[in-house]
Structure 1
Amino acid sequence: MTLDTLPKGAQAVVSQVVARMENDPIATRLGELGFIPGASVEIVATGPVGRDPIAVRLGSSRFALRRGEASRIALKHDF
């Protein structure tokens, strides 16, 4: 399961950030923001059309991610 498929209000734990190419700048930036293995994430809200962007809570921070960015974040399981 990836973060872009998690329903609104659901929580999960980050398994890994998947790079789509060598030195993927988006995957690197997600890791720098704190999307690291073991981090707890929650979908706070989604956009009306196509669910883009996705509002994600990571610790005490909130981020707006596009579906393509969120699809790089693999999840372990739901709480």
Structure 2
Amino acid sequence: MKALSELEIGTAAIVEALELPDEVGHHLMHMGFVPDARVIVIRRAPAGDPTVYGIEGFEVALRRDTARSIKVRPAEG
């Protein structure tokens, strides 16, 4: 498993786990960051943080510290 923050732009992955405090984890789960959801890295801010991710038809900007706590596996195909 890798951290979501480690992925390059254009890379797709599958969410495995959220290692975040309950309040933050529940908030992200409501936005689609649930196990087995497909997420793609769309773009990064010019300074490198935050990064915009696509998940469940939405675009969500996450800070590196938050994305580091989301564990993913490579998407197949």
Q: TM-score range by the shorter chain?
A: 0.7 to 0.9
Q: How many residues align?
A: 75
Q: Post-superposition shift, 1:78?
A: 3.7
Quick one: distance in 1 between partners of 2:69 and 2:27?
Answer: 11
Q: Any gaps of 5 or more consecutive residues in structure 2? A: none
Quick one: distance in 1 between partners of 2:39 and 2:32?
Answer: 10
Quick one: distance in 1 between partners of 2:35 and 2:63?
Answer: 20
Corresponding letter in the other structure for 1:76: R
Structure 1 segments of 4+ aligned residues over 4 angstroms from their partners: none
Quick one: distance in 2 between partners of 1:34 and 1:60?
Answer: 9
Q: Post-superposition shift, 1:10?
A: 0.3
Q: Percent same amino acid at aligned positions?
A: 28
| 1:53 pairs with 2:61 | no
Q: TM-score, normalised to structure 1's length?
A: 0.85
Q: What's 1:28 paired with? A: 26
Q: Any gaps of 5 or more consecutive residues in structure 1? A: none
Corresponding letter in the other structure for 1:64: A
RMSD across aligned positions (CA): 1.3
